[in-house]
Structure 1
Amino acid sequence: MSGGISDLDKNRALADWLEWQLRQTRSRIRELEIKEQQEARARERARAEQSWKIQPQRSGRTALLHRGGCGLYNAQLGFLDRDEALIALAEPDIEPCEVCRPETGLVQV
């Protein structure tokens, strides 16, 4: 050895740096995946807020129309659009939820 850095030491340093780079990249990928999931949930919430859902009639209780984002009933099936919600609200055996007030936004002023 002539006082310089050996090829072995250079390659070890390079490997350490590449491992650091890989950790940084994997960390950034995790951050981006989390951000993407959060954005997808936000889009779903926004879509739900612009939709409606029907809670089926059960054990003598009237069926209820809910806003898509109402937490009192988690729909297992798809959401209704505005026209379908208006039709549902006009049905005698479907009442609006008293908590989320689904008729708000349906009635045109």
Structure 2
Amino acid sequence: MPGGTSDLDKNRTPEQWLEWQLRQVRGRIRELEIKEQQEHRAQERAHAALRWKIQPQRSSLAALVHSGDCALHPVEGGFLTREEAMIDLAEPDIEPCQICNPETGLAYG
């Protein structure tokens, strides 16, 4: 169409605008998903920090009680409650981890 805007051009402009908006929304969704995942991991770490776990006895080494967020021993079989951890630490063949010092959390429970 001489001297004017064609129907094709009139439709390409909003198409480009909508594509830009869609990219913006998808980027924001990615940001929110990452934030949500980070918050979920933080909640899991906070929950684990309030629990305890036990490392079974191996060869001549004593069994160890760890705080729930201690990285030295992965959770095997779930977490212990405060009461269970205190009972375990009273046993002669079970010791606290010297790195995470799980007794600190037990003292304030």
1:55 aligns with 2:55: yes
1:14 aligns with 2:14: yes
Aligned length: 109
The aligned counterpart of 2:78 is 78
- Alpha-carbon separation, structure 1, partners of 2:58 and 2:44: 27
Tell me the C-alpha RMSD between the 2 structures: 1.7
More helix as a share of residues:
2
Q: In structure 1, what residue type is equivalent to 2:74?
A: N
1:105 aligns with 2:105: yes
Give 1:32-51 correspondences, 5 Å limit.
32-51=32-51
> Structure 2: 5+ residue runs without aligned partners?
none
> Structure 1: 5+ residue runs without aligned partners?
none
Give 1:23-38 correspondences, 5 Å limit.
23-38=23-38
Q: Could you state the TM-score of these two structures normalised by the residue count of structure 2?
A: 0.90
- Alpha-carbon separation, structure 2, partners of 1:47 and 1:4: 65
- Alpha-carbon separation, structure 1, partners of 2:9 and 2:77: 62
List 4+ stretches of structure 1 deviating above 4 A: none
1:10-38 C-alpha deviation (Å, 9 max, x unpaired): 11111111111111111111101100110
1:86-105 C-alpha deviation (Å, 9 max, x unpaired): 11111222111111111112
Q: State the shift of 1:2 in Å.
A: 5.8
Q: State the shift of 1:57 in Å.
A: 0.8
Q: Could you state the TM-score of these two structures normalised by the residue count of structure 1?
A: 0.90
1:52-74 C-alpha deviation (Å, 9 max, x unpaired): 01011112211000011111111
- Alpha-carbon separation, structure 2, partners of 1:100 and 1:25: 43
- Alpha-carbon separation, structure 1, partners of 2:28 and 2:107: 46
